[in-house]
Structures are given as C-alpha cells and as structure tokens.
Amino acid sequence: MYGKRLRGLALSTFAALTLTLALVLFWAPNDAYLGFLQKIFYIHVPLAIVTLCGFIAGGVMAIQHLRTRDPRWDMRSYVAIHISLVFGVGVLITGSIWAKGAWGHWWVWDEPTLVSFLLIMLLYATYQPLRFAIEDPERQARSASVFAIVAGVFVPINFAIVRLSTAYVHPRTLSNISGNLPGRMQVVFYLAVVSVALLWVTLWRYEMTSKHASAQLRALKRLLGGDEDEAPARRSAAPSVTHLGGVR
C-alpha cells in the first residue's frame, strides 16, 4: 500500500539531490567573504527548515491520531519525528562546522537560531524515551501524540521567544533571503530546499512501507503457525506493529 510509486519518488529524489549538488559545486558563485565554505549553507539551512517542518508535521499527524484513534496516524507521526530527529542531528553538525568557519567558534550562544534549535532538539530527544517507558501500546500512542502536539506548538513559540532575547549574528534566513542573495544563489537555495524536502518524504514513505510490510509479515506468520514459534517482539520505542491492521 505504501510501496506504490516509491521507486519513482526515490529516483526523482536522487536526481534532485544530484542536480542540487552539481549546481552548488559548479554553478553557484563563491561567497565574497567565506568563499567555498559558504556552500555548506545549501545543506544546513534546507535541512533545518525541513527538520522543523517535519516536527510540526509530526504534531499535525498526532492531532489526527487523537481525533480518529487510528493507530496508523500514530505510526506516521512517530516516523515523521524519528526522521526529523536524524535530520536535526545533521543540522547541528553542519551548523557547528559553519559557525567554526564563519565566526571562529563551534558554538555561539548569542545566536537565537542556534539556541532555539538546540532547545527543540533537547525536547524531542525525550520523545523516544517517553514512548519506551510506557508499556501499554494504546496509552503509549496517546501519550506520544500529546507530546508531539505540545512539542509541535513549542517549536514556533520557542523560536520567537529566544529570537526576541538575543542580539543577532546569524543571517535572518527566512525574513530577508530574497534581499541579500544574488539570483543564482537564490535559485540553488530553493532547489536545495525542495531536494531535501523530497529526501525527507522519500525516507518517511520508505520507513512507513517497511513498518507496514513487517506488520503484514507478522500477521501472516500468525495465520500460518500461531504465536508460539514467533520470536517475542523486541522492546522498542516504535509503535507496536501488531495492531496496525495488516492481513487478517
């Protein structure tokens, strides 16, 4: 069900990423101050934007879960947050490299965008431990959804508050991007955002397909041989796949 058109999506993601990378390396002009180092901007900023949107998407999916009580929405929300967490680690690493090159320090505190991103990562880092610590699958799903919604609301508010509190060093990426980026850089930047978003969607679909396939496999095994020869489910923070509703 989830696997449909996944190959086409994966191929277009691959093509978009390759094209972006080629344009970043060979077509976009070098920055006047930072030179080649500035090119990490085309990875770092799209990653950050996609991560935050992914967290918010996880919150929206969690709202759907609480409204419909359909465990598939919980799984979607879980996978969205999981992938965004992985992307978020990438944001912190690329951001540190950029900060070291541009400002001379691996970490800069008077930097609202960095600090609020770190806070958001610290909050979301507790998502999986929270799931892991609740045994009853339905309550786990409900608690995780409540967390995902609260944290999804926290994302923009936290950004606004931390930004109000500090002096600015970081380029205000979203507010004045069209103002201070020359044409070619702008084209490549938007292309990079699209490619990273495509990558996120592909990974999300891929993970959903995989979870769905294992749920179906489990259901088939149960139909064939009963429960006794099945290995006990590994303890996991992921939603339990047995009640996702596969083959009956």
Calpha distance 151→157 (Å, rounded)? 10
Number of residues in contact with other proteins, rule: CB under 8 A?
Answer: 27
| Part of the chain binding other proteins (CB under 8 A), chosen from 11-19, 32-40, 136-144, 170-178 | 136-144
Binding span for other proteins by CB under 8 A among 13-21, 42-50, 138-146, 200-208:
138-146
Q: Is 22 in the site for other proteins (CB under 8 A)?
A: no
String of contacts with other proteins for each residue 95-134, x by CB under 8 A: ------------------------xx-xx--x--xx--xx
AA letter at 23? L
Q: What's the sign of the alpha-carbon dihedral 127, 162, 83, 122?
A: negative
Closest CA to 2 of 228, 225, 216: 216
Site membership for other proteins, residue 157 (CB under 8 A): yes
105: Cβ–Cβ under 8 A, 6 or more apart, which residues? Answer: 99
- Closest distance between other proteins and the C-beta of residue 181, in Å? 31
Report the SS3 class of residue 195: helix
Spatial separation of the C-alpha atoms in residues 241 and 30, rounded to whole Å:
49
Cβ closest to other proteins, residue 46 vs residue 112: 112
Q: Is 68 in the site for other proteins (CB under 8 A)?
A: no
Residues sharing a CB contact under 8 Å with residue 183, sequence separation 6 or more, in sequence order? none
**Where along the sequence are the contacts to other proteins (CB under 8 A)?**
66, 119-120, 122-123, 126, 129-130, 133-135, 139, 142-143, 145-147, 149-150, 153-154, 157-158, 161-162, 164-165
